[in-house]
Chain A
Amino acid sequence: MKYTITRKEALNAEDFLIEVEAPLVAKKFKAGQFLILRIHDKGERIPLTITDCDPEKGLVRMIIKAVGKTTSELGRLGKGDSVSDIVGPLGNPSEIKKFGTVVCIGGGTGIACLYPIIKALKAAGNHVVAIIGARTKDKLVWEDEIKTICDDLIVTTDDGSYGRKGVVTEPLEEILKNKTVDRVIAIGPMIMMKFVAKTTESYGVKTVVSLNTIMIDGTGMCGGCRVFIGGEMKFTCIDGPEFDGHKVNFDELMNRLDMFKEKEKQAMEYYERGTK
């Protein structure tokens, strides 16, 4: 079986939207889940969070940042091309119920991952405030889509080129000071999730983070995605990907993400040489 790309759009120099035919995934997807993709026979298996699905047409949409070899290669594919393997949806769906007021925080491509979660939270009757941030205006993705589904939207950019200048934790802190917040959900770079969890801790607001760890099979077989949640070993693929942000040791996790950094660089160089 081949998984054909039906749509592909560059959102900026690094980020792109890709839509792929994967009927089983589209049919079963619930907010918060991910899939594992392999481009071709020599490819690696990479976990990707799902942004949106069309169950009727069997389509899955993802927003991806071209950072490594596989995401860069994926970024160079276009409509009509295909990838050899997709398996999913994987992981547990987000916990969705009527919490009250939920603040959803997204950074980078994590913003797009929030989209189905906010949709589900709204459908469950929550008041949703979204805070989305990027380094600069050009890197901000999925703003219009988020805007149409949440109650309030706050945008930050590190350089102030759009929205508020600064980082997402600043408006978050203001909201926590002035309003009752029942839950916070954060998806984005580890460092962002770390500081979101730090910010909410003193307010005692339950904070859920979605971890994107090293992963191979995604079925609980390799243990490569192991994380320690409150000292207990968990596998992100089958126990996560969402965990209590106050129990995650982000420094340890960021260190683990570096395990293959040198190799990733090597893979990228090898790929670029081959495509020149």
Chain B
Amino acid sequence: MVDIGGTRVPMREQPVRERIENFHSVPFGYDEGEVVAEAQRCIMCKHAPCEINCPVRLKIKEMIRKIAERKFKEAFLIVKEDNPIPAITGRVCPQEDQCEGVCPLAKTENGVNIGKLEAFIADWAMKNGIAEEFHIEERAEKVAVIGSGPAGISCAVDLRKFGYQVIMFEALHKAGGVLQYGIPAFRLPKDIVDYELSYIKKIGVDIQLNNIIGQNIKFSELRESFDAIFIGTGAGAPLFIGMDGEKLNGVYSANEFLIRVNLMKAYDFPEHDTPIVCGAEVGVIGAGNVAMDAARCALRLNAKKVYILYRRTKRESPARDEEVQHALEEGIIFKELISPTRVLGNEEGWVTGVELAKMKLGEPDKSGRPRPIKIEGSEFTMKLDTVIEALGSRPNRLFLDRAPELERNKRGVLVVDENLNTNMGGVSAGGDAISGGATVILALGEGRTAAKSSHNYLSKGDSK
């Protein structure tokens, strides 16, 4: 049998012992020789399932073809047509569930490393100062984009391309949303996020920091001064289990832990002012990407033992394969089929451990994964100094509570039609604000859809 495609060109990475001491990127990225060799593995199959399975229908096959021909600039421009932030998605997309997972090569060998190809050409363009060129035909209408995360960024870029005057409002002192406060630098270096943001500023998006729509500027005021609005406020509100002991010192939401580390750079305390207290033994509840991020940050903050406490098994973890892989390599300990029932503390009010119940897997639930069932009377305790709850998050109440005119469902998520229009004319929404917590690429696709909807809304009168 012919070895079609051969084996994946290995990704060079920081050795484990070094990388757990720093917050630099774990993979080094392909060099030009490696990236071409990896692109040449693609068999150029007719149906390109990778593209069909991509939420933004990126022209992946064409991108790979150009890379294989060493035409990096052309590859970059092809990607940019559909994706404004390839350097980011190349690093954070769950490729194994999307493009790479359906690659014909994935059946026998691993699929073409599409994520790393995408990251390569974006990094290459950044290093060589290559940007897409387009002419903007200015229009007078003003559009407000609330939130500067992935959904807001992609919406703002497309709106600018349509010619609108775009003002983006960000609550924090730094733009980027979850890319800034959520995803750690060892997975997504912050200079890349800064570069992508400088690009959107360059094309004329006005980013207003320290501005909380709903709180500082009423939603109604915004509606008066803008012709259309996009809501990309994300899913910033953390969930807590609601068990005893959550008030103890040493208990964090993953959000707080990651905001301190990523946005406020607590790993560089006291050079940076924001502190973080991370004990020697850390338990992270949950097994998604956020849990992996928190666990690996804890390790880099000198924790001796870091546990993932998960009610299902590794197999059901919703995290990206690469993150689980990296976490395991770094020595993160997976404790499967257990669920915390309370946090234990001492008289001084600090965490000393958790009580957990053993679980077993039952029939599949709504998510398609087997439902964890508590085994009665199986409780046991575990010694811990720090407990991080990474149970997922929900849409940010701050904005939604102050915009009651917008229709939402029982879970507090905004209701939108298939074009992402809310119940109010000219107001669209996308990203985690409507999904309650999904991926960067989905948010990005929704930002683009919403930009089109705004454009349709604003250009209704044009042909008359």
Of the candidates A1, A88, A221, the one whose C-beta lies within 8 Å of that of B255 is A221
Number of A-B residue pairs having CB atoms within 8 Å of each other in the complex:
127
> Is the CB–CB distance between B273 and A44 below 8 Å?
yes
Q: Which residues of A contact B172 (CB under 8 A)?
A: 87, 217, 219
Does A160 have its Cβ within 8 Å of any Cβ on chain B? no
Take A44-B264, A220-B237 as given contacts and tell me if A1 and B209 are in contact as well, using a CB distance cutoff of 8 Å.
yes
Chain A nearest CB from B437 CB (Å) reads: 13
Does B249 have its Cβ within 8 Å of any Cβ on chain A? yes
Closest to A28 in B: B216
Which applies to chain A's interface (DSSP): helix, strand, loop or mixed?
A: mixed
> Is the CB–CB distance between A260 and B173 below 8 Å?
no
Take A216-B264, A219-B396, A238-B398 as given contacts and tell me if A226 and B273 are in contact as well, using a CB distance cutoff of 8 Å.
no
Which applies to chain B's interface (DSSP): helix, strand, loop or mixed?
A: loop
Bound form: Cα–Cα A42–B267 in Å: 12
Interface size bracket, B side: 35 or more
> Is the CB–CB distance between B273 and A233 below 8 Å?
no
> Is the CB–CB distance between A216 and B209 below 8 Å?
no
Bound form: Cα–Cα A44–B217 in Å: 24
Scoring A residues 37 to 52 as 1 if CB is less than 8 Å from chain B, else 0, what string do you get?
Answer: 0100011110000000
Q: Which residues of B contact A256 (CB under 8 A)?
A: 247, 249, 349
> Is the CB–CB distance between B269 and A267 below 8 Å?
yes
Chain B nearest CB from A261 CB (Å) reads: 10
Q: Which residues of A contact B349 (CB under 8 A)?
A: 252, 255-256, 258
> Is the CB–CB distance between B210 and A86 below 8 Å?
yes
Q: Which residues of A contact B249 (CB under 8 A)?
A: 255-256, 258-259
> Is the CB–CB distance between A267 and B273 below 8 Å?
yes
Of the candidates A45, A88, A233, the one whose C-beta lies within 8 Å of that of B242 is A233
Does A264 have its Cβ within 8 Å of any Cβ on chain B? yes
Does A270 have its Cβ within 8 Å of any Cβ on chain B? yes
Bound form: Cα–Cα A177–B397 in Å: 42
Chain A nearest CB from B134 CB (Å) reads: 29
Scoring A residues 19 to 63 as 1 if CB is less than 8 Å from chain B, else 0, what string do you get?
Answer: 000001100100000000010001111000000000000000000
Bound form: Cα–Cα A70–B275 in Å: 12
Chain B nearest CB from A191 CB (Å) reads: 16
Chain B, 382-399, CB within 8 A of any chain A CB: 396-398
Does B246 have its Cβ within 8 Å of any Cβ on chain A? yes
Of the candidates B236, B272, B275, the one whose C-beta lies within 8 Å of that of A260 is B275
Does B459 have its Cβ within 8 Å of any Cβ on chain A? no
Take A223-B238, A263-B277 as given contacts and tell me if A252 and B259 are in contact as well, using a CB distance cutoff of 8 Å.
no
Bound form: Cα–Cα A88–B210 in Å: 8
Bound form: Cα–Cα A226–B181 in Å: 19
Q: Which residues of B contact A223 (CB under 8 A)?
A: 238, 240, 252-253, 255-256
Bound form: Cα–Cα A266–B269 in Å: 9
Bound form: Cα–Cα A229–B259 in Å: 25
> Is the CB–CB distance between A220 and B273 below 8 Å?
no
Does B326 have its Cβ within 8 Å of any Cβ on chain A? no
Bound form: Cα–Cα A228–B277 in Å: 22
Of the candidates B173, B216, B259, the one whose C-beta lies within 8 Å of that of A85 is B173
> Is the CB–CB distance between B397 and A238 below 8 Å?
yes
Scoring B residues 38 to 58 as 1 if CB is less than 8 Å from chain A, else 0, what string do you get?
Answer: 000000000000000000000
Bound form: Cα–Cα A252–B347 in Å: 11
Of the candidates B256, B271, B277, the one whose C-beta lies within 8 Å of that of A222 is B256
Q: Which residues of A contact B397 (CB under 8 A)?
A: 220, 238
Take A87-B171, A256-B247, A259-B249 as given contacts and tell me if A267 and B270 are in contact as well, using a CB distance cutoff of 8 Å.
yes
Q: Which residues of B contact A189 (CB under 8 A)?
A: none
Does B419 have its Cβ within 8 Å of any Cβ on chain A? no
Chain A nearest CB from B197 CB (Å) reads: 16
Q: Which residues of A contact B246 (CB under 8 A)?
A: 226, 233
Does B260 have its Cβ within 8 Å of any Cβ on chain A? yes
Chain B nearest CB from A230 CB (Å) reads: 13
Chain B nearest CB from A32 CB (Å) reads: 14
Q: Which residues of B contact A221 (CB under 8 A)?
A: 181, 236-238, 255, 259, 396
Does B211 have its Cβ within 8 Å of any Cβ on chain A? yes
Bound form: Cα–Cα A24–B209 in Å: 12
Closest to A257 in B: B249
Chain B nearest CB from A269 CB (Å) reads: 8
| CB-based closest 6 A-B pairs | A263-B275, A44-B273, A222-B256, A255-B349, A270-B270, A87-B210
Which residues of B are interface residues toward A (Cβ below 8 A)?
171-173, 181, 209-212, 215-217, 236-238, 240, 242, 246-247, 249-250, 252-253, 255-256, 259-260, 264-265, 269-277, 348-349, 396-398, 401
Residue pairs across A and B with Cβ atoms less than 8 A apart, 11 shown, are A70-B273, A84-B173, A217-B236, A220-B396, A221-B181, A226-B247, A252-B349, A255-B348, A255-B349, A258-B249, A263-B270
